[in-house]
A and B are shown apart, each in its own frame.
Chain A
Amino acid sequence: MRVMAQVAMVMNLDKCIGCHTCSVTCKQTWTNRSGVEYAWFNNVETKPGVGYPRRYEDQEQWKGGWTLDRRGRLVLRSGGRVKRLLSLFSNPDLPSIEDYYEPVTYDYDNLVSAPAGTDVPVARPRSVLTGRPTAITWGANWEDGLGGAPEHAGGDPNLTGEWAEKVRFEFEQTFLFHLPRLCEHCLNPACVSACPSGAMYKRVEDGIVLVDQNRCRGWRMCVTACPYKKVYVNHATGKAEKCTFCFPRVEAGQPTVCSETCVGRLRYLGLLLYDADKVGEAAATPDEQSLLDAQRDVFLDPFDPEVIAAAREAGIPEDWLDAARRSPVYALVSKYRVALPLHPEYRTLPMVWYVPPLSPVLDAVTTAGGDQDDPDHVFAAVTRLRIPLEYLAELFTAGDTDVVAGVLMKLTALRSYMRQRTLGEAADEAAIGAAGLTAREAEDLHRLLAVAKYTDRYVVPAAHREDAAALTAVEDRCPVESSGEPAERKVMLGIPTLRRRTPEDPAGGRP
């Protein structure tokens, strides 16, 4: 057993109203720079929908993630090592800027500088890439709230099979929910495995996956390998960039910016202990629908004395072990088992999990003339209304509807039970018992999911005191700043002055 700790995230999708606050605050923090205008380390998609970049979930096209070869060994879908080196000159599976969208700014200046006249001045959109006026024809969440869904949503790669036809035809009446996405900081990251330079790595201490900006050589294989398309090319610096899980904040014991600013309070941050020795085996589980359980088996019980002993031996500090026991992520993923990974079939063992939304089912109950508050109606809907269930199963369980139905049943039972309690009615403990919860557990889960206090949602232990000097030595500048900005010295031939190694910092700054 090789115990490692990871700061992981769970999102409760029922609470997401698609306000994009997480995306905007993330962008203001990390990607409001030239070269990454088009990149959203955190984005919110409308589902069903084609996603960002377009149809990223279609791995037949984009070749992201892992697959098993004929002998059952884990191989990158984009090809082996030799093929990767042969495609260095031109990567055949790289999304183009059009697959994301052409970033624009507006002629704001015209609003104040236009001469007096009878026409109201307007701020026309202008391409950031060419500086010329342009028409805005696509965006990171173009079909927000299912806008234009009849036209576009049929392109959702999760809509396959005959039931998908039904969804396509009945789109406006079916369902919608929002899916916030960021880097999954996977246990078996395909991007790291595909990086020819070895510039990408997973941190031992907290599992955060980062790009070493000093070692990245711009081979762009990570972009293809990531099935979630969460590694981006900075076209100004020619290097890869990705979600950092706000590591400077996490090291200080603070939640990520997207979590901190989430107005729906739907994000949970906490530690998961896992057995690094079992990662490869779990990712190579033959049956796609068993990957969920395989990944849960990689996680370790922080209350188990054997695990605690092994963790101590691995050098995980006591306060981290304590945080692991209080982790809301552990509770939702392993204890109550209501959280599910996004697309486990990509075999990367993602570490941002989701509590699937009950709202599509509740909407379906209402549409069918039922009563949302009657658990029997909802149970019936869960088992009978295949459309939302199968769609959710495509996203979260590699198509296994039983698992999704089980989680939705549990959420329905909890909802009904707590509603009865709150209204002073006779609480039906049999229903929550059937869903595998005791009265006490139901209250705890309700507190975690519905009350969701700040301190319950975010249990992030600070990086350790021994490393304090390293932490305060964090560069006081953006680690991925591009050339030209503040021109304090002569810039020779456009070589950036930043991030150079200097005699007092031979390492050239932090990754």
Chain B
Amino acid sequence: MSTAEPLAATGGPDLLLWVAFPYTCLAVFVVGHVWRYRHDQFGWTSHTSQLLENRWLRWGSPLFHLGAFLVIAGHVVGLAVPASWTEAAGIGEHGYHTTAVWAGSVAGVAMVTGLGMLCARRLLTRRIRLGTDRSDKLLFPLLSATVLLGISATGAHNVFGPGYDYRRTVSVWFRGIFTLQPDPGAISGAPLLFQLHALTACLLFAAWPFTRLVHVWSVPIGYLARPYLVYRRRPTPTAGSAARVRTRQTRPGQRAA
């Protein structure tokens, strides 16, 4: 590989943080999803709590979700699209920067406000707090940390600070992960807030398949084209089900799970 030499030249901690750790998280993300989808369709849900609390959710949930869509779109543009491409498209560094700061701020504030409201109702409404399971207790702090670190990084460096061009550093590292040419050196010099944001994001991706975030992949686009009425036949007997019946008859006390 062409990157073997720079990789070898990188220090141990950087290699661990910016190569091993992201790849591990990605692996967990992929394998976790396959495992969860195959084994836990029953748990695969948005886990709505609107029934129990609607006053905060009514505003918090749309704010968070719409904000998140914009934020995700912004990340795609900022991380996946090289600066040379946007420049080739006639968008200069200044134009890009101004747009990113403005749109990003609006989206970020919407997302943070929404997430804040969703966290607040989860903490303050007793009936929701009691219905919060372990995966939520992992997800909400992790998601909050990621979002807060991200918006702080933008705020500290790009809105109120002198401006930091993450497209020459963080984005290069990010693209390197997916092109299998990891470049830990690109991010190791980035400001701490950006680094922490990247690390918590990796953790978030690793946790993703084990939380309610999986409902993202079930966004029901197919509904737009589906016929209204759905008819289904009863499942027909299969060899597998017949075998299970036999098993159950021999061991009546046993639960199949």
Q: Which residues of A contact B (CB under 8 A)?
A: 81-82, 84-85, 88-92, 94-97, 127, 129-132, 188-189, 192-193, 195-198, 200-205, 213-220, 233, 235-239, 279, 463, 467-470, 472-473, 475-477, 483, 486, 488-489, 492-502, 504-508, 510
Instruction: Look across to chain A and name the residue whose beta carbon is closest to the beta carbon of B232.
Output: A201
**Stretch of B10-18, B22-30, B34-42, B105-113 that contacts chain A:** B34-42
28 of the cross-chain contacts (CB-CB < 8 Å) are A90-B57, A90-B61, A94-B54, A132-B126, A188-B229, A193-B229, A201-B231, A201-B232, A203-B231, A214-B42, A216-B45, A220-B51, A467-B234, A470-B235, A470-B241, A475-B256, A476-B248, A477-B255, A483-B133, A488-B257, A494-B133, A494-B135, A498-B42, A499-B41, A499-B43, A502-B39, A505-B256, A507-B238
Question: Could you say which residues of chain A place their CB within 8 Å of the CB of B233?
Answer: 203-205
Instruction: Look across to chain B and name the residue whose beta carbon is closest to the beta carbon of A508.
Output: B41
Chain A binding surface SS class: loop
Asked if B226 is at the interface of the complex by the 8 Å CB criterion, the answer is: yes
Question: Could you say which residues of chain B place their CB within 8 Å of the CB of A492?
Answer: 210
Asked if B47 is at the interface of the complex by the 8 Å CB criterion, the answer is: yes
* CB atoms of A235 and B257 under 8 A apart: no
* CB atoms of A197 and B218 under 8 A apart: yes
Given A132-B126, A235-B52, A467-B234: A473 and B40 within 8 A (CB)? Answer: no
Task: List 8 additional A-B contacts (Cβ < 8 Å) besides A94-B54, A192-B229, A495-B43.
Answer: A91-B50, A213-B42, A214-B44, A235-B131, A469-B241, A493-B210, A505-B244, A508-B41
Chain B 221-257, CB-CB to A under 8 Å as 1, else 0, gives: 1111010111111111110111111011000000111
Q: What is the CA–CA distance of A340 and B224 in the complex, to the nearest angstrom? A: 35
Considering residues B38, B232, B248, which has the most beta carbons from chain A within 10 angstroms of its beta carbon?
A: B232
Interface residues of B in 117-176 (CB under 8 A from A): 126-127, 130-131, 133-136, 138
Q: What is the CA–CA distance of A192 and B223 in the complex, to the nearest angstrom? A: 11
Instruction: Look across to chain A and name the residue whose beta carbon is closest to the beta carbon of B254.
Output: A476
Q: How far is the CB of A63 from chain B (nearest CB, A)?
A: 15
Q: What is the CA–CA distance of A489 and B134 in the complex, to the nearest angstrom? A: 16
Q: What is the CA–CA distance of A475 and B245 in the complex, to the nearest angstrom? A: 9
Q: What is the CA–CA distance of A7 and B256 in the complex, to the nearest angstrom? A: 31
* CB atoms of A493 and B134 under 8 A apart: yes
Asked if B75 is at the interface of the complex by the 8 Å CB criterion, the answer is: no
Instruction: Look across to chain A and name the residue whose beta carbon is closest to the beta carbon of B129.
Output: A130
* CB atoms of B138 and A500 under 8 A apart: no
Q: What is the CA–CA distance of A160 and B140 in the complex, to the nearest angstrom? A: 48
Question: Could you say which residues of chain A place their CB within 8 Å of the CB of B211?
Answer: 493
Question: Could you say which residues of chain A place their CB within 8 Å of the CB of B210?
Answer: 492-493, 495
Contact of A486 among B47, B234, B238, B255 (CB under 8 A): B255
Given A90-B57, A193-B228, A202-B231: A504 and B42 within 8 A (CB)? Answer: no
Contact of B40 among A96, A97, A500 (CB under 8 A): A500
Instruction: Look across to chain B and name the residue whose beta carbon is closest to the beta carbon of A199.
Output: B230
* CB atoms of B229 and A189 under 8 A apart: yes
Question: Could you say which residues of chain B place their CB within 8 Å of the CB of A489?
Answer: 257
Considering residues B44, B46, B62, B257, which has the most beta carbons from chain A within 10 angstroms of its beta carbon?
A: B257
Q: What is the CA–CA distance of A161 and B206 in the complex, to the nearest angstrom? A: 60
Q: What is the CA–CA distance of A483 and B257 in the complex, to the nearest angstrom? A: 12
Q: What is the CA–CA distance of A238 and B39 in the complex, to the nearest angstrom? A: 17
* CB atoms of A496 and B135 under 8 A apart: no
